[in-house]
Structure 1
Amino acid sequence: MPTSFHSKPVIEPLSKYHNRAAFDCGVEALGRYIWQQAMQDAKRKIAATFVLTGDRPESIVGYYTLSSTSVNVGELPEQVVRKLPRYPLIPATLIGRLAVDRHYQGRGYGELLLVDALRRSLILTEQIGSAAVIVDAKDDKARAFYEHFQFIPLISYSHRLFLPMAAIEDYFAE
């Protein structure tokens, strides 16, 4: 578990209480999202944003978003498709964004956020079907991060990756 906190890290839904303006991950699009769009997306039920708070409960160390999506089975490798029903689209959970404030980068908080997103996605499959978690890697560094956790690139989109829910289930069963 990452260190630097005086108490156990907390990951909770984004609220008006959180200081979004102070968040700076070094990527303008990810910063702008948390500053300007995340609360609106939550109100519209477009995406749910979860924040990792620091020593002060209003501070944001990092965040991720979850929403539902689907993936065309033609984009999945054959060994995965063989295990799925013959539907043209398969339901999935999208981690649309994942970012860590630049003051906390390189300390394992990205992994902590990803593991929480995967755990939450797995739990939600009890309520709504999802065969995989999908991510859109912003660049090669982000792609390598997700590949480290066994995400597999889709056939036509090298920076859109997926992790089958069965693999996530196995991960948490250990």
Structure 2
Amino acid sequence: MTAPFRVEILGQGHDRNAFSCGVAVLDPYLARQANQDIRRRVSACYVAIEASSGRIAGFYTLAASGVPLTDLPEALSTRLPRYPSVPVARIGRLAVDQAFHGQKLGGALLADAAMRAVRSEVAVFALVVDAKDDSAEAFYRHHGFEVFGSQVRQLIVSLKHFAFEAK
């Protein structure tokens, strides 16, 4: 049996206009802005494609970033070198089309982002996200993220939290 979704880099052949997650800023981002960010190399955009229809079921963006060491929770910073900032991968956006809500696709996209960060040749030790609202914050907290720093809804999780190894 084949998986119902495959995750791949956003390409020109994907129909982005049909995507509707119900969050006003995310739908137009995928339709009109994502390609610009990819061309400018400020983020990569990955899409979950429903295998049977080819429809975009969800997406996320991933970018290299850094955070001040002093902002990290003590449990995360204890064994890190005392550099002013530490490398992380930032999830800029993550959304699931309304037709696919309730299928745990958001968690699967989050795991895919973590896997890509672990396997990257660019070293990062954690995932960071700025949750857009209370619902998004609850989603990320459910998946092991914790609040850090002084910005509202800024969350972090060590890549050690995920149960896979770099290959």
| CA distance in 2 between partners of 1:103 and 1:6 (Å) | 20
| CA distance in 2 between partners of 1:84 and 1:167 (Å) | 16
Amino-acid identity (%): 38
**Change beyond 3 A, Cα 1:16–1:84:** same
- Count of paired positions: 164
**Change beyond 3 A, Cα 1:129–1:6:** closer
| CA distance in 1 between partners of 2:66 and 2:3 (Å) | 38
Partner of 1:152: 146
| CA distance in 1 between partners of 2:158 and 2:144 (Å) | 10
TM-score w.r.t. structure 1 length? 0.89
| CA distance in 2 between partners of 1:46 and 1:152 (Å) | 25
Partner of 2:129: 135
3-state SS of paired residue (2:124): coil
Give 1:46 shift.
1.0
> Mind listing any 5+ residue stretches in structure 2 that lack a counterpart?
none
Alignment of 1:79-158 (within 5 A): 79-124=75-120, 127-158=121-152
**Change beyond 3 A, Cα 1:18–1:87:** same
1:7-32 Cα shifts (integer Å, max 9, x gaps):
53110000110000110100111111
1:172 equivalenced with 2:160 (yes/no) = no
| CA distance in 2 between partners of 1:10 and 1:48 (Å) | 16
1:9 equivalenced with 2:16 (yes/no) = no
| CA distance in 2 between partners of 1:165 and 1:139 (Å) | 23
Partner of 1:56: 53
> Mind listing any 5+ residue stretches in structure 1 that lack a counterpart?
none
TM-score w.r.t. structure 2 length? 0.92
| CA distance in 2 between partners of 1:155 and 1:65 (Å) | 22
Give 1:48 shift.
0.5
Give 1:6 shift.
7.5
Give 1:166 shift.
2.6
1:31-56 Cα shifts (integer Å, max 9, x gaps):
11101110111111111100001122
